[in-house]
Structure 1
Amino acid sequence: MPKISNKGFKMPESPIRKLVPYAENAKKKGIEVFHLNIGQPDIKTPKVALEAVKNNAVEVLSYSQSAGSEAYRQKLADYYHKNGISLNSNEIIVTTGGSEALRFTLGSITDPGDEIIISEPFYANYIAFSTASAIKIVPIISKIEDNFALPSIEEFEKRITKKTKAILICNPGNPTGYVYSKEELQKLAEIVKRHDIFLIADEVYREFVYDSSVKHQSVLSNFGLEEHAIIIDSVSKRYSMCGARIGCIASKNKEVINTALKYAQARLSPPTFAQIASEAAMDTPQSYFDEVIEEYKERRDTLVSELNKIEGIKVNTPKGAFYCLVELPIDNADNFAQWLLEHFSINNQTVMLAPGAGFYSTPGYGTKQVRIAYVLKKEDLIKAVNIIKAAISKYNLIENRKKHFVKTI
């Protein structure tokens, strides 16, 4: 029998999606599942984006430019300028989601066997993208006790080798909700310039910052990283348009853009209708974002308040994005998350979580943690946390009985 590739064998399952079959089975039994596992906002997509697709006059659904339509890229450049990021349309490549943007970036700056440094926990698909590019993730642990702040620069220095090509950050962070300070980004800027490597910043949650004391800082804003910084971006979360699959790469480095364009040409073009919707979405009024941010802030506060009522839990208050990484008083989050879907419900309701170990590349870390996406209404978040609280008590009781039984035989 023919064998699959070693690279394919090593490709990890998504901790966000791997429990889907268990959730589907629960639904077939008539159980309502609160999906806290995935960052799919329930916020309505701006009408202007949907209307642009419904009412367009397209007669031939043709290819766009490989880099994306000029009109859309110019609107993106204007958007970045308003956010203090000086870019022109030729420094932007439209991609099929932020995922493709990151894959094009890794393909453009790394060769098989090269290394990228990432502070973990991190977005789980970074492992998959690195595996697909045959490169190595070199992790640095950030701790829940420190609110997942940037580890010391000395820790980064220790891990830089001749094979290091980049440091990758997500700001605001997925799965932690951490927002890097200007001082932290300045330290990263100094180290990438000193070692002449890239700083890749996944900034898809740029708008989602909740505290007045915290401000999002882009790596292309006044850090002197014109040749070193690469932004990964997407419309998925900003406009609640996850299904559009439109993202982009942005960089002042001409070689990066020219190389990424070759990858873009190989896949021909990003989807035309989705670009039409994304271009129109750029006209969304600020009032839309003001309402969305206020809603997520209230959801965050509700979630953290309810979680803190559970004895033995560890949880911080996220400053941005819409995720919370929580440490539960259980032995194994993977087992607990599956057990929730298979064996536990209250009033025919249960919860789907994303086990935390999948957001680490270091074995043994995150085994008691889960990522919670607060993308549900406040009343549903309260119900979901009450289910988790009751489930923890029952799960631990069952596990203790199992351990006691093993000891007695």
Structure 2
Amino acid sequence: MPSVSHKGLSMPESPIRKLVPYAEEAKKKGAKVIHLNIGQPDIKTPQVALDAVKNNTLEVIAYSRTEGSEEYREKLAAYYAKNNIHVTAKDIIVTTGGSEALAFTMGSIADNDDEIIIPEPFYANYNGFATATGVKVVPVTSHIDSNFALPAIEEFEKLITPRTKAILICNPGNPTGYLYTKEEIKKLAAIVKKHDLFLIADEVYREFTYDGKEHYSILQEEGLEENAIIIDSVSKRYSMCGARIGCLVTKNKDVIKTALKFAQARLSPPTYAQIASEAALETPQSYFDDVKEEYVGRRNVLIEELEKIEGIKVGKPQGAFYCIAELPITDADDFAQWLLEDFRLNNETVMVAPAAGFYASEGLGKNQIRIAYVLDKENLKRAVNILKEALKSYIA
């Protein structure tokens, strides 16, 4: 019998999606499943984006340019300028989601067995992209006790080898909600320049920062032009996850030239989704102001309710819409599956994402879960109450 590849066998399962069959089975049996597991906002997509697709008069859905339409990239450059990030359309490659932007980046800067240092816990799919491109993830651990702040620069220096190509951060962070300070970005900038590395920043949650804190992009840092690569996406910014439009942004011409070859191999990003994404750039600031206010309220409710549960430790997010909670258990994977298979409160249960899959270090995160607060406040309160009662039953 023919066998699948070693790469395929080593490809990690998504900690976010691997429990879906259990959730679907629970629903078939009549249970209501409250989803805390996935960052699919319930916020409405801006009407201007929906109308651009509905009212479009295309007669042929043709290929777009490999790097994305020039008009869209020009408007993206104007969007970045408003955020004090000064790039041109030539510094941007439009991709099929931020995922493809990251895959193109890894393929462009690293060869098989080259290394990328990533503070953990990190977005679980970084492991998958690294496996697919033959890159080795080298984790540097951040801790819930320090609210997942940037580890000491000395910890990064210890891990740098001749095979190290980049440091990758998510800012604000998924799964922690941590927002890197300007001073932390400057520390990272100094170390990548010292060791001639790339600094990759996944900045898809840029708009969602809280408590008066502001996002500082790596492309705002002077002198980092050849080292900095931004990964971006419309998915969360405009609640357009299904559009699958992202982009790679860098002033490094060699990276753009190389990434474009990977982009040519997949032909072009989707035409209709670019139309929607271009229109979404007209979304007024009031949309983001309202969304931020809603997320702050949800975060506050979630943290307040979680902290009432004995034995739980929780990080306080400063951005995005996720948090990591540490539970008084030993195996969050087993607990998450048990919730879906065996536990009901008024015929309801919750679906969470076990956090071990957000780490690269073996054994870490086994007693943690990631919660996405993408539900309204009442649903969040109900979900946390279910979690509280479930823990009582599970631990007993």
Q: Same fold (TM over 0.5)?
A: yes
- One-letter amino acid matched to 2:12: P
Q: What does the per-residue CA deviation read over 1:263-303, in whole Å, with 9 as the maximum and x for residues that have no partner?
A: 11110000000000000000001111110000000000000
Equivalents in 2 of 1:95, 1:122: separation in Å?
Answer: 21
SS of residue matched to 2:388: helix
The answer to whether the Cα contact below 8 Å between 2:192 and 2:199 also exists between their aligned partners in 1 is yes
- Aligned equivalent of 2:265: 266
Equivalents in 2 of 1:15, 1:164: separation in Å?
Answer: 27
Equivalents in 2 of 1:392, 1:124: separation in Å?
Answer: 25
Taking the TM superposition and a 5 Å limit, the aligned residue runs for 1:217-236 are 217-236=216-235
1:377 equivalent to 2:382? Answer: no
SS of residue matched to 2:220: coil
The answer to whether the Cα contact below 8 Å between 1:193 and 1:228 also exists between their aligned partners in 2 is yes
- Aligned equivalent of 1:97: 97
The answer to whether the Cα contact below 8 Å between 2:172 and 2:203 also exists between their aligned partners in 1 is yes
Identity across aligned pairs (percent)? 70
Taking the TM superposition and a 5 Å limit, the aligned residue runs for 1:42-81 are 42-81=42-81
Taking the TM superposition and a 5 Å limit, the aligned residue runs for 1:300-379 are 300-379=299-378
1:173 equivalent to 2:173? Answer: yes
1:88 equivalent to 2:95? Answer: no
Distance apart, 1:223 and its partner CA = 3.6
Equivalents in 1 of 2:377, 2:174: separation in Å?
Answer: 21
- One-letter amino acid matched to 1:257: I
Taking the TM superposition and a 5 Å limit, the aligned residue runs for 1:76-225 are 76-212=76-212, 214-225=213-224
User: 5+ residue gaps in structure 2?
Assistant: none
C-alpha RMSD over aligned residues: 0.5
Distance apart, 1:210 and its partner CA = 1.1
- Aligned equivalent of 2:18: 18
Equivalents in 2 of 1:317, 1:12: separation in Å?
Answer: 28
Equivalents in 2 of 1:224, 1:265: separation in Å?
Answer: 30
Equivalents in 2 of 1:158, 1:183: separation in Å?
Answer: 20
Taking the TM superposition and a 5 Å limit, the aligned residue runs for 1:231-310 are 231-310=230-309
Equivalents in 1 of 2:3, 2:311: separation in Å?
Answer: 46
The answer to whether the Cα contact below 8 Å between 1:189 and 1:223 also exists between their aligned partners in 2 is no
The answer to whether the Cα contact below 8 Å between 2:148 and 2:315 also exists between their aligned partners in 1 is no
- One-letter amino acid matched to 1:125: N
Q: What does the per-residue CA deviation read over 1:287-344, in whole Å, with 9 as the maximum and x for residues that have no partner?
A: 1111000000000000000000000110121000000000011121000000000000
Q: What does the per-residue CA deviation read over 1:355-391, in whole Å, with 9 as the maximum and x for residues that have no partner?
A: 0100001011000000000000000000000000000
Equivalents in 1 of 2:286, 2:370: separation in Å?
Answer: 29
Q: What does the per-residue CA deviation read over 1:112-164, in whole Å, with 9 as the maximum and x for residues that have no partner?
A: 01000000000000000000011100101100000000000000000000000
Equivalents in 1 of 2:217, 2:62: separation in Å?
Answer: 34
Distance apart, 1:215 and its partner CA = 1.2
The answer to whether the Cα contact below 8 Å between 1:76 and 1:89 also exists between their aligned partners in 2 is yes
Equivalents in 1 of 2:366, 2:34: separation in Å?
Answer: 22
Equivalents in 1 of 2:290, 2:154: separation in Å?
Answer: 41
SS of residue matched to 2:12: coil
Equivalents in 1 of 2:330, 2:159: separation in Å?
Answer: 31
The answer to whether the Cα contact below 8 Å between 1:173 and 1:320 also exists between their aligned partners in 2 is yes
Equivalents in 2 of 1:223, 1:160: separation in Å?
Answer: 23
- Structure 1 moving runs of 4+ over 3 Å: none
Equivalents in 2 of 1:186, 1:287: separation in Å?
Answer: 31
SS of residue matched to 2:304: helix
Q: What does the per-residue CA deviation read over 1:184-228, in whole Å, with 9 as the maximum and x for residues that have no partner?
A: 00000000000001000000000000111x210000003421000
